[in-house]
Amino acid sequence: MRFADTDAQGIAHNAAYPVWFEVARVEYLRAFAGGYQALRDHGIEALVLESFCRYRSPARFDDELDVHTRCLDLHGARFRYEYEIVRADGAPIADGWTAHACVDATTFRPTRVPDWLVGAIRSAEG
């Protein structure tokens, strides 16, 4: 963990966790669905609707952390990512989720999760 992610006591600041969730989400899309840019290339944006994080144990400066994520609950335009952050020794640090919706990049009106993305996610989660 970077020093910039900590508070004055050297503990991860709560504002760092949503950023770590985003990094994991972007990497998930890169690994399984051609990246976030593939969505944008198809005229789609994926907006964050809700975010939740449960802090279980403090992360401290210089801890090595792993963020695990999975994508589920695809319904219409919506889908959800779940996250678990663990220290390199396996100790749980935090868990949480983010809810998303696909929208048309021009109108920002909801649009179904594209079939190619549904297929990529189902393949990744299968």
Give catalytic residues, as residue numbers.
7
Classified as helix, coil or strand, 75 is: strand
CB burial class (10 A; 0-12, 13-18, 19+) of residue 83? buried
DSSP 20-41: HHHHHHHHHHHHHHS-HHHHHH
Is 40 in contact with 104 (CB distance < 8 Å)? Answer: no
